[in-house]
């Protein structure tokens, strides 16, 4: 189902890491009729507000990149928020997209949907084959529900909703707030701050903490040349709160053993993959267009289905057999250990201190490599390798402090 350059595309979460990259990618391709709303402008957990927005805008396509996200610590602390807020966002946006006849919807999930001990690399078909990783179970369940919503709407109503499951992402507009950031930006900021503490660069620490306060502690009063009691007290407070996150003078303590393997994808690569899927891939392409067209009521050559024929007939089509796992993994198919990642970050930041691992803290899933053969078969492969990506992220972070 083609979207022309004049199609109105709503990007939910357009200010976030993924959404902003998708927004920019669409603009670079000449799609300028884009709609976005900040969280302050539109609370996606508010069903009435979402309906009102769709009533007004009537988008032709929807990219659902908005989510309540965080790392291991946030996932463990805010379990109820992670499942409830994400479920509300997904239910509201997907149901209103259907009610307002959006031609296409792209749902972004996460590879945490897969079982903790899934065979590696993880194929789409390993979904729901064994228990999830406990530390992010609620978020994973919400994302599984989201991809199943897309799959089920397609089967029952003949919609064209595609779900993509990106691996660990990093890039411009990443979240560097220590309380709820993901592994790479958190690690990078910790290493950078430990370096600044050792150098006595309190002016730079002040800029960093003013930009992204830690537990409400800002950089106010942190002057390198000020030796007053007030300034000393401010510095002690800053050191105390940073120490809670493993940041010391020329020393950083990271969670876990450093042995888990992780795959990382540059967010602008993820955006390019997402837009490629949005513009070029239909549900019928994923499950086999010949098989789908021959039995699905009202199927047409562009992958769309006549709603009048499919509405209300139920989701099980005997001629198709069991249709599941229609989502698409998005990643590089490459991995490295958390320790190896820390070594890349240390080298990039120019840190000469010590990096230690606290084995009493959880590692999370030990390995999360995904199989990207389906994505490759649909015509897309990644471009940015991890070594270049870490340097690009640190440069973006330093620029964000100016």
pLDDT of residue 1: 58
pLDDT of residue 319: 67
Buried b (16+ CB within 10 A) or exposed e, 184-209: bbbbbbbbbbbbbbeeeebebbbebb
Q: What is the SS3 assignment for 78?
A: coil
Written as six digits, the tokens of 81 are 């928020």
pLDDT of residue 317: 60
pTM of the entire predicted model: 0.85
Task: DSSP for 175-237, please give it.
Answer: ---TTT--HHHHHHHHHHHHHHHHHT-HHHHHHHHHHS-BTTB-STT--TT--SHHHHHHHHH
316 catalytic? Reply is: no
Could you tell me the mean pLDDT of each successive run of 10 residues in the chain, 402 residues long? Answer: 90 93 97 96 97 98 89 76 94 98 96 93 97 91 97 93 95 88 93 97 96 94 79 93 97 96 96 97 81 44 44 51 92 97 98 97 87 97 97 97 92
pLDDT of residue 247: 98
CB atoms within 10 A of CB 64: 27
pLDDT of residue 301: 42
Distance CA 211, CA 177 (A): 10
pLDDT of residue 11: 98
pLDDT of residue 179: 83
pLDDT of residue 391: 98
User: Which residue, 144, 402, 127, 104, is CA-closest to 274?
Assistant: 104
pLDDT of residue 44: 97
Catalytic residue of the set 10, 139, 170, 245: 139
pLDDT in tens, 277-315: 999 999 989 987 444 444 443 444 454 444 443 433 344
User: Which residue, 340, 364, 399, is CA-closest to 187?
Assistant: 340
CA 332 to chain centre: 15
Q: How many CA atoms lie within 13 A of 147 on its CB side?
A: 26
């Amino acid at each position: 189902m083609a979207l022309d350059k004049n199609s109105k595309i709503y990007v939910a979460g357009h200010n976030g890491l993924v959404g902003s990259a998708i927004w920019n990618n669409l603009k670079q391709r000449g799609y300028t009729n884009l709609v976005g709303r900040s969280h302050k402008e539109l609370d996606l957990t508010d069903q009435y507000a979402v309906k009102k927005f769709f009533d007004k805008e009537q988008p032709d396509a929807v990219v659902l990149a908005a989510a309540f996200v965080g790392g291991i610590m946030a996932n463990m602390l805010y379990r109820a928020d992670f499942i409830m807020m994400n479920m509300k966002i997904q239910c509201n946006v997907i149901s209103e997209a259907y009610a307002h006849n959006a031609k296409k919807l792209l749902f972004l999930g996460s590879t945490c949907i897969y079982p903790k001990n899934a065979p590696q690399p993880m194929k789409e078909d390993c979904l729901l084959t064994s228990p999830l990783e406990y530390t992010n179970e609620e978020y994973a369940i919400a994302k599984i529900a989201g991809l199943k919503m897309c799959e089920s709407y397609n089967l029952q109503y003949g919609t064209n909703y595609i779900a993509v499951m990106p691996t660990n992402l990093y890039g411009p507009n990443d979240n560097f707030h220590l309380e709820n950031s993901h592994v790479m930006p958190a690690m990078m900021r910790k290493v950078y701050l430990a370096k600044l503490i050792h150098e006595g660069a309190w002016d730079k620490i002040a800029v960093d903490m003013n930009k992204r306060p830690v537990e409400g502690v800002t950089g106010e009063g942190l002057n390198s040349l000020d030796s007053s009691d007030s300034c000393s007290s401010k510095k002690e407070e800053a050191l105390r709160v940073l120490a809670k996150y493993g940041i010391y003078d020329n020393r950083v303590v990271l969670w876990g053993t450093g042995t888990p393997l992780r795959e990382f994808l540059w967010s602008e690569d993820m955006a390019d993959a997402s837009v490629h899927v949005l513009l070029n891939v239909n549900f019928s392409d994923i499950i086999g267009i010949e098989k789908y067209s021959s039995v699905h009521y009202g199927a047409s050559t562009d992958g769309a289905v006549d709603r009048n024929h499919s509405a209300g007939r139920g989701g099980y089509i005997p001629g198709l057999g069991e249709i599941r796992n229609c989502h698409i993994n998005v990643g590089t198919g490459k991995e490295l250990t958390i320790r190896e990642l820390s070594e890349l970050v240390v080298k990039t930041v120019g840190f000469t201190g010590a990096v230690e691992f606290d084995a009493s803290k959880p590692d999370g899933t030990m390995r999360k490599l995904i199989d990207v053969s389906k994505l490759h078969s649909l015509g897309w492969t990644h471009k940015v390798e991890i070594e270049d990506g870490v340097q690009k992220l640190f440069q973006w972070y330093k620029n964000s402090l100016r």
